[in-house]
Homo-oligomer: A and B are copies of this chain.
Amino acid sequence: MDKRDLLVRTAFKLFYTQGIHAVGINLVLQESGVAKKTLYHHFPSKDHLVEATVRFRDEAYHHWLTGRLGAVAAGRPALLELFSALDDWFHGRAGEIDVFRGCFFINASAEFGDRDNAIHEACAEHKAKIVALIQSHVALLALPAGQARELTDLVTLLKEGAISMAHVQGNLDAALQAKAVFEHVTAGFHKTQSPS
């Protein structure tokens, strides 16, 4: 019932599936059944609406992912679950997060390439948040600092790479491939504390 929220949700769905510049404000209005005046009452411009959709998606995505990771044991199992979650997402089995159309933040950054753009910055913040989430689970493995950093990089890059390949190439098994690589590389990290 909150019109602002309705606008953001509708705009997100359209932007995500069709692209941001490709979707006009009038379509968002028509699809949501909200009056134009109302939109410009809540947002001073389209760009501000776009930024709001980025923040909305940030919250939704983060909520979904922490939910998935929280359902298993913290540490390595959670990192494995990350890839399973991605796999479900790619195959449209992650209801909460909608159909897979690539990473909304990567897509938005593609359309707003200037690094000092507010929309791009919001996307960067999202990525930083996800890296922090990964980092928190890597920390539980009690590895030396250097190894921990490297493992965080590995998971982050594998995850990001899988999303890219799944979208651009249509390789929907990318998450499973990433998972296999991760599993193999970290085969020696089963225990929380490595024997010294």
Contact = CB atoms under 8 A, between A and B. Distances in A.
A70 interface: no
A115 to B, nearest CB: 5
Given A21-B21, A150-B181, A180-B150, A109 B167 contact: yes
A106 interface: yes
Nearest to A157: B161
Contacts of A127: 165, 168-169
Identical copies in the complex:
2
Interface string A69-92: 000000000000000000000000
A164 interface: yes
Interface residues of A, number: 48
A111 interface: yes
A111 B177 contact: no
Contacts of A128: 169
A180 to B, nearest CB: 6
Contacts of A164: 103, 106, 160-161, 163-164
Interface of A: 17-19, 21-22, 101-103, 105-113, 115, 120, 123-124, 127-128, 131, 150, 153-154, 156-165, 167-170, 174, 177-178, 180-181, 184-185
